Amino acid sequence: MPEGTIDRAVFEELKLTAGADFVSELVDTFLSEAPGMLAELRRALEASEADRFRRVAHSLKSNSNTFGASELAAMARELELGGFAAARENGGEPLSALAHEYGRVAKELTELKRA
């Protein structure tokens, strides 16, 4: 597992303050919500809805930070801050990179919540 997918300190702190069982449920919620967000980002890009794009990226950033998914949060933040134009220029490539990173995050979170 490469470095930096999930910041363990952040995740442990979350478990400590909110409770392990609750965090496990929260991870499930995130894993069921996030694919929809990724899809909505792509739809917003195709429909040229910059505002919606920014809002969804913002939401994804916020959730990534909650679980300590630092890299995913950084990518989402870049999309939030003027990433719409960049994503369009690069034919949606940043969204593919984002989806890839999300895949790694999802895998690790699933393992961590069992631990």
Of 110, 3, 115, nearest to 67 (Cα)? 110
| Residue in 24, 65, 70, 96 binding another protein, rule: CB under 8 A | 65
Minimum distance of another protein from residue 60's CB (angstroms)? 9
How many chain residues interact with another protein (CB under 8 A)? 20
Minimum distance of another protein from residue 91's CB (angstroms)? 26
Contacting range for another protein; rule: CB under 8 A; set: 39-47, 73-81, 86-94, 105-113:
73-81
Minimum distance of another protein from residue 7's CB (angstroms)? 11
The set of long-range contacts for 78-87, using a CB threshold of 8 Å and a minimum separation of 24, is 79/41, 79/53, 79/54, 80/54, 83/53, 83/57, 84/45, 84/50, 84/53, 84/54, 87/45, 87/53
